[in-house]
Structure 1
Amino acid sequence: MKIDAASPNEYISQLPEDRKTVISKLRQIILDNIPNGFEETMSYGMIGYVIPHSTYPAGYHCDSKLPLPFLNLASQKNYIAIYHSGIYADKGLHDWFVEEFIKETGKKPDMGKSCIRFKDLNKIPYELIKSLVGKISPQEWIRMYESRGSRS
């Protein structure tokens, strides 16, 4: 589901009502719990949370004109997704999330490398997302990003 939007509010306004409610709730959880220093923006056609150039002038190694991405929130064709780069970069964080997800929901999460997919919009573990969002500061993300050899 491709949405052309210049702002998070415009993105949300174009969603169907059921998605609008869930994305709005997830967005508010992110805004309330993400550590200071991340900036909300539109990124790759999704609502994004990045480290701005004012904090990390080098930007993203694939395109230094872009700020360093960290987290994205999107309404895809068959699911809502949270793309969390820390889960991909930190095995300990990944394993913690999977374990807590199973404890909370009784099922394994539907995940890709950084993607957490929610097909059943009534079964999103909001409290777990709240905890996940606050786990990594911008400074920690920069250290992780650089230690993985993303920059030379």
Structure 2
Amino acid sequence: MQLSAETPEDYIAQLPDERKQVMSKLREVIIKNIPKGFEETINYGMIGYVVPHSIYPNGYHCDTKLPLPFLAIASQKHFVAIYHMGIYANTILMDWFMNEYPKHCKTKLDMGKSCIRFKKLNEIPYELIGELAGKISVEEWIKIYETQFKQ
């Protein structure tokens, strides 16, 4: 479900009613918990949280015109997704999340490399997502990124 939004508010306004509340709540919990320095934007057609060029001028290695991505949320056709690059890059964080998930949610974890999918919108563990959003600072993310991806 690719939306042509220019702002996070515009993105949410274009969603079906049953998705607006979920995406607004995800956005709220992320903004409340994400460390200072990350910037909210529209990135790859999703609501993204990035390291801006003002902090990391090199940008994203795949396209240096883009800021360094960290986290994104999206309303897809059959699910709501959270894309967290830190989980993909940091096995300690991945292990922590996989261990904590069953404590917050009764549904089975549906996860790809960096994508966490929620098909049952009434069972999203918002508190856990907030905690996940706050686990890595901008400085830590840049260090992980340069070590893991930029070679």
Q: Which residue of 2 aligns with 1:51?
A: 51
Q: Which amino acid aligns with 1:144?
A: I
Give the conservation status (yes or no) of the 8 Å contact 1:47–1:72: yes
Residue in structure 2 matched with residue 77 of structure 1 by the alignment: 77
Q: Does residue 72 of structure 2 align to residue 66 of structure 1?
A: no
Report the TM-score, using the length of structure 2 for normalisation: 0.97
CA contact (8 A) 2:107 2:123 kept: no
Structure 1 length-normalised TM: 0.97
Say which is worse superposed, 67-76 or 101-110, in terms of deviation. Answer: 101-110
Identity %: 63
Structure 1: segments with no counterpart, 5+ residues: none
Equivalent pair of 1:101/1:107 in contact (CA under 8 Å): no
- 1:14 CA drift (Å): 0.4
Between the aligned partners of 1:25 and 1:141, the Cα distance in structure 2 is 24
CA RMSD of aligned residues (A): 0.9
SS of 2:121 mapped into structure 1 = coil
What residue is the counterpart of 1:39 in the other structure?
A: 39
Are the equivalent residues in 2 in contact too, given 1:98–1:108 (CA < 8 A)? no
CA deviation string 1:7-47 (max 9, x = no partner): 10000000011100000000011111100000000000000
What SS does the corresponding residue of 1:20 show, helix, strand or coil? helix
Secondary structure at 2:30's aligned position in 1?
Answer: helix
List runs of 5+ in structure 2 lacking aligned partners. none
How many residues align structurally?
151
Which stretch of structure 1 is more off in the superposition, 103-112 or 6-15?
103-112
